[in-house]
Structure 1
C-alpha cells in the first residue's frame, strides 16, 4: 500500500511568482501511512524483491553504516553526534531525500536550481548565542556550488527582522562547493537565537545544480526567488515553494539551559502528520514547547520524520520517500549534534508492504543496537491506531497488535512512549480518537499531535542527558 504524508498548504506568497504548477497535497497515488498483517501474503506488484531480502540488506546497512551511507555521513568528522562538538546542539534538522519529480508537488528539486535563491523557513527548537548551518548535497550526483548563504530571524513570510541578517562563510569564504554526497557546516556566526523562534536560511546557487537534495513534505511555506536575493531582508521578490532545499541542519551554541538534543525519528506522523500549515503543530514542535516550558536544564528537539518512509527497506521507484530508516539512522539520528536520545516510531508503512512482526522486530533491534553503540538511548513509540482507515484489514490489525505488544513488553527499548494509548478512542483502543482524527482515521490533527507530545515523559528524556546508553563506547 502506498501510504504517506499530510497535505502541505500553498506557500505564502505563491500568488506573486508561482514557480510552476500550484502546490497540491502531499498524497500520492496511495496516500498516507499504512499497516498490514502478520503472515506473509503480499499484495501483487507492491514489492520489487521479497521482504526477507530487504530485511537482510537493511540489517547489513545497520552493521556497516559507513559503507552504506552517502558520503555526507562521513564528510564532516567531529561536527555531529554526542560529545563531538562541545557546546553545540542541533536546534533544527530535516531528513533528506534525492531530488526527483513529485507528481502532486510544486517542489522544483527534481529539475534543480539555476541562478535562484531558496529561502528556507525553519522553526528552531533550541536556543543559543551563535549559529551554524549545514548545507547539503547528500543525494546529489554531481558537485553543487553554493554561492551565498544567509541566516536571519523571520519577521513575517519571507521578510527578515531588520538588522538580523547575517552572511555565512565556509572556511572564511562566502561560496563553497559540495561534492556529490557531501554536506558541510558553515563557520559559526554570533547571533542570539531563542528556542521556538523561526529562522530564514537563504541559499543562492548560480550554476545549474541538477536534482537537489531536499526535504519534500514540510507543512511550511518556503520561498524561491530569481537571481541572488540571499542578502535581501525583504521578501518582496520571493514566491512560494513547498520544500526545504540544500539545508539539512541548524546548530546553536547552546545556552546554559540546553544540555543536548532529542531526535524524533519516524514517518509522516512524525514529519508533519495532518497538521495546520505554517503553524508548527507537529508532535516534535509540541514536545519542544513542553521542554522549553520547564525550569532548569532542557533539550532541543530535532524532527527526523520523513513522509512515507519505511523502517527496513526503501520504496522502490519513489525516492521522495527516502531511504529506509536503517539506512539513514546514522546520519539523521545518531550523528545529530549533541543527541542524547531518540524516539523511534516507525513501521506502519512496512506493515503496509507485507513486513511481518518478526521482520520489524529485527529492524528495531538493529536500530537500538546502533544507538547504544553511539551512546544514545532509544525509546520506542507504539504505532498509532488505524482501524477504520482505508488501509485497515483484520490481518493488518493482527500484525499491528503484535508489534505494539513487543514494543511495550520486550524491554528492548530504553523506554516506551505509548502513543497508541494516548491517541486511541475511549470507546475503542484500535481506533484513533475522533477528537484527534484528521479525517483519514490514520493521521492525527493538531490536537492529536499535541496529545502525542504530552505522552512523552520529560523526566525520562532529561535523565538521558545525564546518562550514557548501555554498551556505549564498545565499538
Structure 2
C-alpha cells in the first residue's frame, strides 16, 4: 500500500513531518546532512539522471546510539512526486552488505511505500534497531519508477551503492555493482532509546566542514574527529556535519547550495536538540570573486563589512534560538587558484574580526592550527591535500584538536 505526502499549501520549502525530539519521546538526530539541488558536482554522481527500477544503498555513521531508528527522506528539489517503493535499514557489514538478522523494513504511516510531493520531506515510522554510538547504518531505497533528478548531498565522502531491480531486502552486496560518493534523498537518521548526553553540536560551513580532502569511507572530516575527541574525553556529544562544498555566506548557488543565511534555520535551528553551532564560512565569498568560472557564479565582489554583517546575522539567529555559537577563523590559502593580495587582505581582516570582535560566544582558531609556521598565509605542507586550501586528514585532525572542548 502507498501513502502520498504533499507539501503544505504555499510552502516556500519542504514540509518535514518529524517533530522536535523533546516532543516525541526522546528522538534525537544521530546523523544529518544538508540537501542540495541536483548538479554535476565535483565527481560523477547520479543526481541529474535520477533512478528507475533501481535500488540505492547508503551507508552513514550515526553519532548517537539507541534501540529504534527512523529516517527522513527529502524531495525538496524534485519537480515531480517521488515514489519510494520500499525502504530498509540495518547494521552495516562490509561494503554494501548488511549484517545478518539486522535488516528492518521501514514503513511510512504503516505503509510499505510512499510518494513524496515536490518540495516535501517525509519521516518514516520507527524501526526497532539497536545501534551504538559511532556505528554504521545502511539505508536502502528501491525506486521502482523514474524518480527524475534527485535531491542529494554532493560530497558525502562515503560510498553509496546502486543495483538494478529491487534489492532492498538483500543482506549480501553482490547486486550492488556501481558506487558514488554522494547521498541521495536521505537527510536524517534519528534514534531513540539511547543514553547519550543531551545537546548536539552542528558544524556549519563549506567544503572544509564538508570534508573535501578527507578520505572516502574513513570518517576523518574535522567534525568526525571532534566527535571522537569528545567521546574520548568522557563527554560524548553528537556532532552533525552541515557543510556544503562551495557554499557561501551571502550568495545562493545552483552548484553549491543556498547561502548560509538562507539555509541556517533549516540546516541548524530546525534540528531538535541542538545546543551549539560552529560557524566556518566566507572563504568562497572572498575567493570566487577572483575567478571567472561558470561554476563560481554568482561571484559578486563582496566587502569584508558585508561578510561581517552576514556573520552577525547568523549569530543573532543562533542566539534567538538559545544556542551557543562559536566562530572559526578562515584557513590560509596561499597558492590556491583564487589567492591574491586582495583576497588575502580580506581573509586577514575577517579573521581579525572573528578573533577580536567579541561577538561570537567563543572562537576556534583553525587558521592558526593549520598554517605553515614559515608562512602564516599558506597551509602547513603536512596538512595540505594538494590544492593549497583544503586540509588532508592530518589537517582535519589538527583542526579538531584546536577546539577547546569546554566552549562546547
Q: TM-score, normalised by structure 1?
A: 0.78
Are the aligned partners of 1:89 and 1:300 in contact in 2 as well (CA < 8 Å)?
Answer: no
Match of 2:388 in 1: 441
Name the counterpart of 2:88.
150
Secondary structure of the residue aligned to 2:93 is strand
| Aligned equivalent of 1:201, options 139, 142, 145 | 139
Q: CA deviation at 1:410?
A: 1.2
Structure with the bigger RCO (C-alpha within 8 Å, sep 6+) is 1
2:227 is paired with a residue whose SS is helix
1:394 and 2:341 correspond? yes
In 2: Cα distance, 1:211 partner to 1:250 partner: 22
User: What is the Cα-based RMSD across aligned positions, in Å?
Assistant: 1.9
Q: Hey, what does 2:189 align to over in structure 1?
A: 250
Q: Does 1:407 align with 2:354?
A: yes
Q: Name 1:40's counterpart in structure 2.
A: none
SS of the residue corresponding to residue 230 of structure 1 reads coil
Find the counterpart in structure 2 of residue 231 from structure 1: 169
Aligned match of 1:140:
78
> Do the aligned partners of 1:69 and 1:328 also contact (CA within 8 Å) in 2?
no
Aligned residue in 1 for 2:323: 376
Aligned to 1:75: 16
CA distance in 2, matches of 1:175, 1:133: 14
Q: Out of 325-334 and 425-434, give the one that drifted further.
A: 425-434
Contact map agreement 2:64 2:196 (CA 8 A) in 1: no
Task: Tell me the CA shift for residue 152 of structure 1.
Answer: 1.0
1:327 lines up with 2:262 in the alignment: yes
SS of residue in 2 equivalent to 1:155: coil
Q: Which residue of 2 aligns with 1:272?
A: 211
Give the gaps of 5 or more residues in structure 2: 1-7, 290-300
Match of 2:251 among 313, 320, 333: 313
Map of 1:91 onto structure 2: 30
CA distance in 2, matches of 1:377, 1:358: 23
Are the aligned partners of 1:116 and 1:205 in contact in 2 as well (CA < 8 Å)?
A: yes
**Residue 67 of structure 1, CA deviation:** 12
Deviations 1:332-374 (A, max 9, x none): 1111131111111011000122221111111111111111222
SS of aligned partner of 1:355:
coil
Matches of residues 173-184 of structure 1 in structure 2 within 5 Å? Answer: 173-184=111-122
Contact residue 120 and residue 244 of structure 1 kept, 8 A: yes
The residue aligned with 1:241 is 180
Task: Give the 3 Å change call, closer, same or farther, for CA 70–247 of structure 1 in structure 2.
Answer: farther
Tell whether the 8 Å contact from 1:110 to 1:211 is kept in structure 2 after alignment: yes
* Cα distance in 2, alignment partners of residues 193 and 287 from structure 1: 20
Q: What 5-or-longer segments of structure 1 have no aligned partner?
A: 1-65, 462-475
Q: Distance in 2 between matches of 1:254 and 1:399?
A: 47
Deviates more, 1:104-113 or 1:174-183: 104-113
Closer/same/farther in 2, CA of residues 123 and 184 from structure 1, 3 Å limit: same
The CA distance in 2 between the partners of 1:289 and 1:370, in whole Å, is: 28
Q: CA deviation at 1:85?
A: 4.4
Instruction: Summarize deviations over 1:257-293 as a string: whole Å, max 9, x none.
Output: 2312111111110102201111111111101111222
Looking at structure 1, the residues matched to 236 and 193 of structure 2 have their Cα atoms a distance apart, in angstroms, of 10
Q: Deviations over 1:106-151 (max 9, x none)?
A: 2111121111111111122222222111111111122111111111
Among candidates 268, 274, 287, match of residue 226 of structure 2: 287
CA gap of 1:412–1:84, structure 2 versus 1, over 3 A, is farther
SS at match of 1:110: coil
Aligned residue for 2:199, secondary structure, equals strand
| Counterpart residue number, 1:109 | 47
In 2, are the aligned partners of 1:101 and 1:111 still within 8 Å (CA)? no
Contact 1:85 1:338 in 2 (8 A): no
Residue 409 of structure 1, CA deviation: 1.1
TM-superposed CA distance for 1:68, in Å, is 11
The Cα shift of 1:294 comes to: 2.5
Count residues with an aligned counterpart.
Answer: 388
Question: 1:51 is matched with which residue?
Answer: none
Whole-Å separation in 2 of the counterparts to 1:125 and 1:399:
36
Q: Is the 8 A contact 2:155 2:212 kept in 1?
A: no
Task: Indicate if the aligned counterparts of 2:61 and 2:137 stay in contact, CA closer than 8 A.
Answer: yes
- Alignment match of 1:131 (pick from 43, 49, 69): 69
Please list the CA deviations of residues 400-427 of structure 1 after superposition, one character each: whole Å capped at 9, or x if unmatched: 0110011111121121111111111122
Contact 1:85 1:337 in 2 (8 A): no
